[in-house]
Amino acid sequence: MKDISQSIQKEDHIEKVSGKSLYVSDIKMDHILYAKTVRSIHPKAKILNIEIPDLPKDYFIVDYRDIPGKNHVNMIFEDWPVFAEKQVNYIGDPIMLVVGKNKQTINDLIGQIKIEYQVLKPKFEYKTSVIHKSFKKGNIKKAFTKPFKTISYTYETGYQEQAYIEPQGFIAYPEEDGKITLIGSIQCPYYVKNAVLKTMGFADDKVRVIQPSVGGAFGGKEEFPSVMACQLAVAVHKIGRPIKMIYEREEDMSVTTKRHPSKIQLTAAIDKEYRIQGLKAHVALDSGAYIGLSGVVLARAMIASTSSYTIDNLDISGDVYETNTVPNGAFRGFGAPQMIFAVEMFIHHIAKELNIDPLILRLMHLAKQNDLTSTSGVFRDPIIMKKMIDKAMEISDYEQKVKIYQDPSVFKGIGMSWFLHGCGFTGSGESTHINAKVKLRKDANDQVFLLVAAVDMGQGAKTALKKIVVQTLGIPSQQVSFDNPDTDYVLDSGPTVASRTTMIVGGLLARAALKLKETWIDHQEMEILEQYQQPEYIKWDEDTMVGDAYPAYSWGVNVVEVEVSKVTYQTKVKGIWSVYDVGKSIDDRLVLGQADGGIAQGVAYGYLEVMKHEQGKLRQKTMTDYIIPTAVDMAKTETVIMENPYILGPYGAKGVGELTLVGGAPAVALAIEQAINKKVYKIPATPEYIMELINHDKI
């Protein structure tokens, strides 16, 4: 049998390269209407009165009064309205849709709508906590009793915009018996379906969600599409015609969810042998106007508080703060990038204060198999980080460069981050919230169909999941089909998030395929259903946050080399080297593609991508002023995949997608730190910030 890691042709290669692949904006329908959203222009205000102009024939207003069910979008936390009723809470809060035949007429009508507001005082500070979480490990009191040294630092991270190249969009249309079908650029067909069901108060068979090609998502199409879908479903229900709503870039950037800005305080108690005996951490996340997924993002950030290190005594807490700004949400990494940046900087800053080699301090604390995790779970599986670190140092010539770049006059630096990423939903999420189901169907011609809700948004899920089934069944690839998910046909295998698709959905498919193989009868229709079962040894207490937070962890090492201009303080990334343990790669080329794309986003998060608001108004809302890397900004990469098969993963595979992002920011920030010989506390490390550090900060 062929090694499954050997790359095969990407399932959708030809349609993608030839431009034949259909994305939602490419889909046409007869008698279609268009919709545009009327939004709040104030960060916080009461709506006193709305004056609507006379509407021409075939033009409609849709607002909260048209909602047949509940006026909130079903997410983990249900505080996000479909349409504002009496109050708006951020600039861009949706108030109504204007629907009609001609886009220009819609714009003209929107210009004539008069909304009278009573402006209220908005909040922008980390003041109003809406979610508080905490957990402890070991004996933190003892650790902080008479330490040799106590060291504290605070770190800050900014917004990051997903900047998928395809903006968000949907088409919704009525079918017989009041059923509504939605086609949209989404990651999670069943999130959308369940949200629409609640908003509409419909029975389960009255909503259908279909996924077309998706032009990038990165978390941005996890929960936000449900907002658009609910609004459009309400509109279709009222008007009874197909409606298309595709955001333009400016609207997309202004109102869709971003990575949470954060402020992270870390305090370590260190003993005479330079061992970090205790760590206290507090994570503050800015949720924006609605909580949405912020509580879960907070949990992942807090659990990442020791990253790839083992520290015996912990006191970790965090708060989600509500502000009158655009709601923040899912973005590849989901809270971990903020925390791993802080931890990696902190351990280097501790080493600087203790005046020892950071590498020695880090190796002293590197997690080993059977160590307790931050939440007092167990790292059950082998950890091969030492080997990975050695490899990364070898291919990047790290030791030599670290020495040369110690000369502060060269303005060059090299930084190395170590990290892990928990695969799958946090805590008992996979068993209590998701409970994934997959189905394989074989028809009388022996064609096998994958009936799962996993979305290929570019990462290659179609190729990887089908490959697992093909390899297990041992039949030709053409005999297996995997169409885009359609909720009328596929089971809820869970959302395409949390680095869970290959490991969890792929694992269930591998089991189903094995069963099908064992019971296979030629020319007979067959169906195999598999459902997720949490391994019994995994225990998690949601309230105390104690136990195994994840069934498995992927691990990584990133090395980034930079040169900082002595004149402009601009950073040029010169080289990137990575080593990953993703268990077993299901397709090397796909994993390397994730590695390249993930590190590009992670490194850019650390030094390039700037988004800020001023009194609640985002200052960057186009591709011209929100800068993502071009081919010229990106350096060459070298990636090594090290095998360390995970016993419960399909063919040994663990999660990939998010791992490749989370270490980028600290690696580039550490490289910049060396180049400018100053401590970096904040990302993105822009030229302005570097100048500030050089002129004003002590080393």
Q: Which is nearer to another protein, 158 or 597 (CB)?
A: 597
We find the least distance from the C-beta atom of residue 246 to another protein, in angstroms, to be: 8
From 645, 301, 642, 378, select the one nearest 535 (Cα to Cα). 378
3-state secondary structure 135-173: EEECCHHHHCCCCCEEEEEEEEECCECCCCCCCCEEEEE
Task: Please answer whether residues 313 and 276 qualify as being in contact, where contact means their C-beta atoms are separated by less than 8 angstroms.
Answer: no
Q: Which is nearer to another protein, 210 or 436 (CB)?
A: 210
Which ranges constitute the DSSP H helices of 268-397? 294-303, 336-354, 358-365, 385-396
Q: Which is nearer to another protein, 167 or 427 (CB)?
A: 167
We find the least distance from the C-beta atom of residue 594 to another protein, in angstroms, to be: 9
Q: Which is nearer to another protein, 424 or 597 (CB)?
A: 597
We find the least distance from the C-beta atom of residue 37 to another protein, in angstroms, to be: 17
Compute the distance between CA of residue 437 and CA of residue 159 in angstroms, rounded to an integer: 35
Q: What are phi and psi of 601, to 5 degrees?
A: -70, -40
Q: Which is nearer to another protein, 22 or 694 (CB)?
A: 22
Cα 298 to Cα 123, 131, 140, 497, 539, distances in angstroms: 20, 9, 21, 16, 20
Task: Please answer whether residues 456 and 450 qualify as being in contact, where contact means their C-beta atoms are separated by less than 8 angstroms.
Answer: no
**Which run of H or of E encompasses 548?**
none
Residue type, 606: G
Three-state SS for 511?
Answer: helix
We find the least distance from the C-beta atom of residue 28 to another protein, in angstroms, to be: 8
We find the least distance from the C-beta atom of residue 546 to another protein, in angstroms, to be: 37
Compute the distance between CA of residue 134 and CA of residue 337 in angstroms, rounded to an integer: 19
Q: Which is nearer to another protein, 171 or 436 (CB)?
A: 171
We find the least distance from the C-beta atom of residue 628 to another protein, in angstroms, to be: 6
E strands along 615-680, which residues? 617-618, 637-641
Q: Which is nearer to another protein, 89 or 160 (CB)?
A: 160
We find the least distance from the C-beta atom of residue 468 to another protein, in angstroms, to be: 19
Compute the distance between CA of residue 25 and CA of residue 84 in angstroms, rounded to an integer: 27
Q: Which is nearer to another protein, 325 or 459 (CB)?
A: 459
Copy the structure tokens of residue 58: 């075939």
Q: Which is nearer to another protein, 214 or 693 (CB)?
A: 214
Compute the distance between CA of residue 270 and CA of residue 195 in angstroms, rounded to an integer: 49
Cα 50 to Cα 35, 37, 60, 238, 371, distances in angstroms: 19, 15, 15, 20, 61
Three-state SS for 45?
Answer: strand
We find the least distance from the C-beta atom of residue 489 to another protein, in angstroms, to be: 23
DSSP class of residue 205 equals G
Q: Which is nearer to another protein, 364 or 635 (CB)?
A: 635
Compute the distance between CA of residue 281 and CA of residue 302 in angstroms, rounded to an integer: 8
Helices and strands (H, E) in the chain, number of each type: 18, 28
We find the least distance from the C-beta atom of residue 23 to another protein, in angstroms, to be: 6
We find the least distance from the C-beta atom of residue 687 to another protein, in angstroms, to be: 20
Q: What are phi and psi of 327, to 5 degrees?
A: -65, 140
We find the least distance from the C-beta atom of residue 642 to another protein, in angstroms, to be: 20
Q: Which is nearer to another protein, 328 or 578 (CB)?
A: 578
Q: Which is nearer to another protein, 423 or 595 (CB)?
A: 595
We find the least distance from the C-beta atom of residue 630 to another protein, in angstroms, to be: 4
Q: Tell me how long the chain is.
A: 699
Q: What are phi and psi of 580, to 5 degrees?
A: -130, 145
We find the least distance from the C-beta atom of residue 215 to another protein, in angstroms, to be: 3
Compute the distance between CA of residue 693 and CA of residue 699 in angstroms, rounded to an integer: 9
Cβ contacts of 274 within 8 Å, gap of 6 or more: 354, 356, 361, 364
Q: Which residues bind another protein (CB under 8 A)?
A: 7, 9-10, 12-23, 25-26, 28, 162-167, 213-218, 248-249, 457-460, 589-590, 592-593, 596-601, 622-624, 628-632, 634, 636-637
Q: Which is nearer to another protein, 108 or 541 (CB)?
A: 108
Copy the structure tokens of residue 193: 């379906």
We find the least distance from the C-beta atom of residue 177 to another protein, in angstroms, to be: 32
Compute the distance between CA of residue 202 and CA of residue 229 in angstroms, rounded to an integer: 14
Q: Is 522 exposed, middle or buried (0-12, 13-18, 19+ CB in 10 A)?
A: exposed
We find the least distance from the C-beta atom of residue 97 to another protein, in angstroms, to be: 21
Q: Which is nearer to another protein, 386 or 636 (CB)?
A: 636
Which ranges constitute the DSSP H helices of 366-482? 385-396, 398-404, 429, 461-473
Compute the distance between CA of residue 245 and CA of residue 97 in angstroms, rounded to an integer: 10
We find the least distance from the C-beta atom of residue 573 to another protein, in angstroms, to be: 11
Evaluate the CA torsion angle 478, 480, 483, 489 in order and state its sign.
positive
Q: What are phi and psi of 495, to 5 degrees?
A: -75, 160
Copy the structure tokens of residue 339: 């925390």
Residue type, 66: D
Q: Which is nearer to another protein, 633 or 692 (CB)?
A: 633
β-pairing, 169-174 with 243-246?
antiparallel
127: number of Cβ within 10 Å: 10
Q: Which is nearer to another protein, 234 or 455 (CB)?
A: 455
Q: Which is nearer to another protein, 174 or 216 (CB)?
A: 216
Task: Please answer whether residues 301 and 318 qualify as being in contact, where contact means their C-beta atoms are separated by less than 8 angstroms.
Answer: yes
Task: Please answer whether residues 131 and 320 qualify as being in contact, where contact means their C-beta atoms are separated by less than 8 angstroms.
Answer: yes
We find the least distance from the C-beta atom of residue 13 to another protein, in angstroms, to be: 5
We find the least distance from the C-beta atom of residue 166 to another protein, in angstroms, to be: 4
Q: What are phi and psi of 370, to 5 degrees?
A: 75, -5
Residue type, 150: T
Q: Which is nearer to another protein, 246 or 299 (CB)?
A: 246
